[in-house]
Amino acid sequence: MRTQTHAFYHRRITAFLFLVFLVCASGFSQQKENAYTKVAQQIGQDQVLVQGTPYTYNARYDISHPYYNKDAFENGYIVLRNRKYESLKLKYDLFEQCIVVANSEHSTQFAYSPPEEYISEFLIDSVLFKKLMLQDKQERFCQVVYENKIGCYYYWFKSRNESHHNGTFSAFNYHKQKRKSYLKISGIIYGFKSKKEFIELFPEAKRETIKKYMSSNKISLTKASEKEMSELILFCENILLGKSE
């Protein structure tokens, strides 16, 4: 029995090291995919999910926290390598831009961050995030506000500075979370900061109609609720498709 157990762990370690070796080798995407499949078959898909980085954060002396909305694990799921892992407890660290998963076999104090490069989307507290290639040619997780013929997305982030409110321990002050807004039109993603920039993303012949809609509905792009933004994008979508004027 001892020999069998040793052989089992030896196979798992060998398989994992083989995966790490191929992932580190550049230019062999197909080989990496084949390696992932072989390792997943040997050690299981759930084991692949947890092959991330141990995550620890102690906010005891910090002001505020780095997470999306609140410092609490929320129900959600992750899509990693096209497989959906459900019934997870998640946080989204906006400063580090990483997803934090509570280890279900222990308490939420034991957490890890799955390999971000293989995650395509996740849902946390009923809010959906997808990975998009933005204008700076960087892939970012963005909240999906509306997605059909036109897509509307928010990229959330936090900044921080050193705080000296505690003379004994070093600490940080995490600022209020902020967002950048994007539209996806005809497969191209555009950023916008103002009403003027938003309207100019549409054909000139449609701009006045969109401007009137925003004025009559008193829509402020910085204060609009997700429902209001969804209704605005749906209106713009119908304008582009010639369904309403």
**Tens of pLDDT along 58-96?**
666 788 899 999 999 999 999 998 999 999 999 999 999
User: Residues near 100 by Cβ (< 8 Å), separated by ≥ 6?
Assistant: 55, 73, 90, 91, 92, 93, 111, 112, 113
- At residue 170, does pLDDT exceed 80? no
> How many angstroms separate the CA atoms of 7 and 29, rounded?
30
> How many angstroms separate the CA atoms of 116 and 121, rounded?
10
Q: What is the mean pLDDT of residues 118-141?
A: 93
Question: Looking at 33-37, 131-135, 143-147, which range is the least confident one?
Answer: 33-37
Q: What is the mean pLDDT of residues 25-34?
A: 47
Please state, rounded to an integer, the average pLDDT across all residues of the chain. 81
Structure pTM?
0.77
Please name every residue paired with 32 in a beta bridge, in sequence order, or none if there are none.
Answer: none
Q: What is the mean pLDDT of residues 46-66?
A: 72
pLDDT score for 165: 65
The answer to whether 111 and 55 have CB atoms below 8 angstroms apart is yes
183 exposure class (CB count in 10 Å sphere: 0-12, 13-18, 19+)? buried
> How many angstroms separate the CA atoms of 242 and 205, rounded?
12
Bridge-based pairing state of the strands 139-147 and 98-102: unpaired
Output Rg (C-alpha) for the chain, integer angstroms.
22
> How many angstroms separate the CA atoms of 32 and 45, rounded?
15
Give residue-wise pLDDT tens across range 180-225.
999 999 999 999 999 999 999 999 999 999 999 999 999 999 999 9
